[in-house]
Amino acid sequence: MAKSFPVLLFFMLIHLILDSVTNFVYALVSGPRQWWPPHGPVKVKCPFRKVDLSWFRGTVNPCPGLHQPICGTNFVTYENPCILCVESLKSRGKIRYEHDGKC
Protein backbone atom coordinates (compact mmCIF):
# COMPACT_ATOMS: atom_id res chain seq x y z
CA MET A 1 0.00 0.00 0.00
CA ALA A 2 2.79 2.43 0.89
CA LYS A 3 4.52 2.00 -2.48
CA SER A 4 1.30 2.48 -4.42
CA PHE A 5 0.45 5.74 -2.62
CA PRO A 6 2.72 7.96 -4.82
CA VAL A 7 1.31 6.27 -7.91
CA LEU A 8 -2.22 6.93 -6.68
CA LEU A 9 -1.36 10.58 -6.03
CA PHE A 10 0.13 10.88 -9.50
CA PHE A 11 -3.01 9.49 -11.14
CA MET A 12 -5.21 11.73 -8.96
CA LEU A 13 -3.15 14.71 -10.11
CA ILE A 14 -3.41 13.67 -13.75
CA HIS A 15 -7.17 13.19 -13.36
CA LEU A 16 -7.51 16.63 -11.77
CA ILE A 17 -5.50 18.30 -14.51
CA LEU A 18 -7.15 16.41 -17.36
CA ASP A 19 -10.56 17.18 -15.90
CA SER A 20 -9.65 20.88 -15.82
CA VAL A 21 -8.24 20.69 -19.33
CA THR A 22 -11.31 18.83 -20.60
CA ASN A 23 -13.61 21.46 -19.15
CA PHE A 24 -11.68 24.50 -20.27
CA VAL A 25 -9.47 23.68 -23.26
CA TYR A 26 -10.54 24.22 -26.85
CA ALA A 27 -12.79 27.15 -26.02
CA LEU A 28 -14.30 28.67 -29.10
CA VAL A 29 -14.18 32.21 -27.78
CA SER A 30 -11.51 33.84 -25.73
CA GLY A 31 -12.93 35.27 -22.56
CA PRO A 32 -11.22 37.58 -20.12
CA ARG A 33 -7.49 37.35 -19.52
CA GLN A 34 -7.91 34.24 -17.35
CA TRP A 35 -7.90 32.13 -20.52
CA TRP A 36 -4.28 31.25 -21.24
CA PRO A 37 -3.25 32.25 -23.88
CA PRO A 38 -5.97 34.49 -25.29
CA HIS A 39 -4.87 33.48 -28.82
CA GLY A 40 -3.80 30.12 -30.20
CA PRO A 41 -5.29 26.70 -30.82
CA VAL A 42 -5.38 25.63 -27.15
CA LYS A 43 -6.70 27.78 -24.31
CA VAL A 44 -6.64 26.82 -20.63
CA LYS A 45 -8.67 28.34 -17.80
CA CYS A 46 -6.42 27.51 -14.89
CA PRO A 47 -8.25 27.06 -11.54
CA PHE A 48 -5.32 28.33 -9.45
CA ARG A 49 -7.60 29.83 -6.77
CA LYS A 50 -9.35 26.51 -6.15
CA VAL A 51 -6.48 24.04 -6.36
CA ASP A 52 -3.32 24.05 -4.25
CA LEU A 53 -0.50 21.91 -5.64
CA SER A 54 2.27 23.65 -3.71
CA TRP A 55 3.14 20.28 -2.16
CA PHE A 56 3.84 18.73 -5.58
CA ARG A 57 7.52 19.04 -6.57
CA GLY A 58 7.52 16.86 -9.69
CA THR A 59 6.99 17.73 -13.31
CA VAL A 60 4.09 16.66 -15.47
CA ASN A 61 2.92 17.39 -19.00
CA PRO A 62 -0.85 16.92 -19.21
CA CYS A 63 -0.79 17.96 -22.91
CA PRO A 64 2.00 15.84 -24.42
CA GLY A 65 2.86 16.54 -28.02
CA LEU A 66 1.53 20.10 -27.88
CA HIS A 67 4.15 22.73 -28.71
CA GLN A 68 2.64 26.15 -28.06
CA PRO A 69 5.26 28.27 -26.24
CA ILE A 70 3.87 30.56 -23.57
CA CYS A 71 5.62 32.98 -21.20
CA GLY A 72 4.85 33.08 -17.49
CA THR A 73 5.08 36.06 -15.15
CA ASN A 74 8.29 34.51 -13.80
CA PHE A 75 9.77 35.03 -17.31
CA VAL A 76 10.12 31.31 -17.93
CA THR A 77 9.01 29.93 -21.30
CA TYR A 78 6.73 26.90 -20.94
CA GLU A 79 6.16 24.40 -23.74
CA ASN A 80 2.37 24.80 -23.59
CA PRO A 81 -0.42 26.39 -21.51
CA CYS A 82 -1.07 23.13 -19.66
CA ILE A 83 2.42 23.11 -18.15
CA LEU A 84 2.08 26.78 -17.20
CA CYS A 85 -1.19 25.93 -15.46
CA VAL A 86 0.50 23.17 -13.43
CA GLU A 87 3.26 25.59 -12.41
CA SER A 88 0.63 28.18 -11.49
CA LEU A 89 -1.15 25.63 -9.31
CA LYS A 90 2.16 24.72 -7.66
CA SER A 91 2.90 28.40 -6.94
CA ARG A 92 -0.64 29.08 -5.65
CA GLY A 93 -1.28 31.52 -8.49
CA LYS A 94 1.94 33.54 -8.19
CA ILE A 95 3.03 32.39 -11.66
CA ARG A 96 0.50 33.51 -14.26
CA TYR A 97 0.22 34.10 -18.00
CA GLU A 98 2.43 36.95 -19.30
CA HIS A 99 2.26 36.68 -23.10
CA ASP A 100 2.19 34.26 -26.03
CA GLY A 101 5.48 32.92 -27.36
CA LYS A 102 8.90 32.72 -25.81
CA CYS A 103 9.97 35.05 -23.02
- Domains in the chain, please, with CATH? 4-100 (3.30.60.30)
Q: What pLDDT does 49 receive? A: 81
Quickly state the pLDDT bin for 18 (edges 50, 70, 90): low
Phi, psi of 100 (to 5 degrees): -70, 155
54: pLDDT strictly greater than 90: no
Quickly state the pLDDT bin for 41 (edges 50, 70, 90): confident
20: pLDDT strictly greater than 90: no
Strand partners for 21? none
Q: Per-residue pLDDT averaged across 16-42, rounded?
A: 58
Q: What pLDDT does 99 receive? A: 92
